[in-house]
Amino acid sequence: LVAARAGRSGRRAGDSGTSEAILEAARGQFAEHGYRGATIRAIAAQAQVDPALVHHFYGTKDALFAAAMQLPVVPSEVIATAFESGPPERGLGELVVRTALTLWESDAVKETFLGLVRSAATDEAAAFMLREFVADSILGTLARVAGVTGTRAEVEYRAAMAATQMIGLALTRLVLKLPAVAQASVDELAAAIGPSVERYLVGDIVLPDRFAGIGRG
């Protein structure tokens, strides 16, 4: 494979099918190795191109995953943009809720969310791939830009608690369309739900005892 890549990458760099070949290789590698285990190097090898070309076309692994899965946006980029002035002194949770709800107004995002929920509920391999993308790319970025502190296990737990709230908000608003949630405005939901998200990320929550000592001292 390495030989094939080295021998053919020059020839294929300009092919019109190259970007599609990269996406196809990416889908294969993500499905087989998960989001975490798939590497740009292995994706390039399978697509028989140079890894630099993958970076050139798609940038980061987050962005390549988003392109391969036909996500209409790169979630980590949306989150980073919302927090580009740093975490706000007040209303951190409201900012998270407001950013998500505003994004979900788009029909393309709604459709994509439905498709992802269907896949995750139908196919364990899809759930696996998505789980790592949510944990590493989406929640990892959120924890970083929102200034969540603690040991690695604590930061992951806090971000995961926020995910239980945000994914439920998406499901009840976009899929189940529970009337009180579907009819509420962005402002109303940000005001009601923001404090929960903020508590999970940076507030006073009970952390599991088993984290005590891990990654400390």
For a second copy, the closer CB: 81 or 122: 122
- Shortest Cβ distance from residue 112 to a second copy (Å)? 12
For a second copy, the closer CB: 47 or 95: 95
d(CA 27, CA 44): 12
- Shortest Cβ distance from residue 68 to a second copy (Å)? 19
99 token code pair: 């950013």
What's the Rg (C-alpha) of the chain?
19
Contacts of 188 (CB under 8 A, 6+ apart): none
d(CA 192, CA 194): 6
For a second copy, the binding residues (CB under 8 A) are 114, 117-118, 120-122, 127, 130-131, 134-135, 153, 156-157, 159-161, 163-173, 175-181, 184-185, 188, 191-193, 195-196, 199-200, 205-208
Site of tokens 């296990």:
153
For a second copy, the closer CB: 78 or 120: 120
Angle at 80 between CA 79 and CA 83, to 5 degrees: 90
For a second copy, the closer CB: 15 or 188: 188
- Shortest Cβ distance from residue 175 to a second copy (Å)? 5
d(CA 151, CA 208): 12
For a second copy, the closer CB: 50 or 136: 136
- Shortest Cβ distance from residue 22 to a second copy (Å)? 27
Angle at 84 between CA 83 and CA 88, to 5 degrees: 50
- Shortest Cβ distance from residue 100 to a second copy (Å)? 12
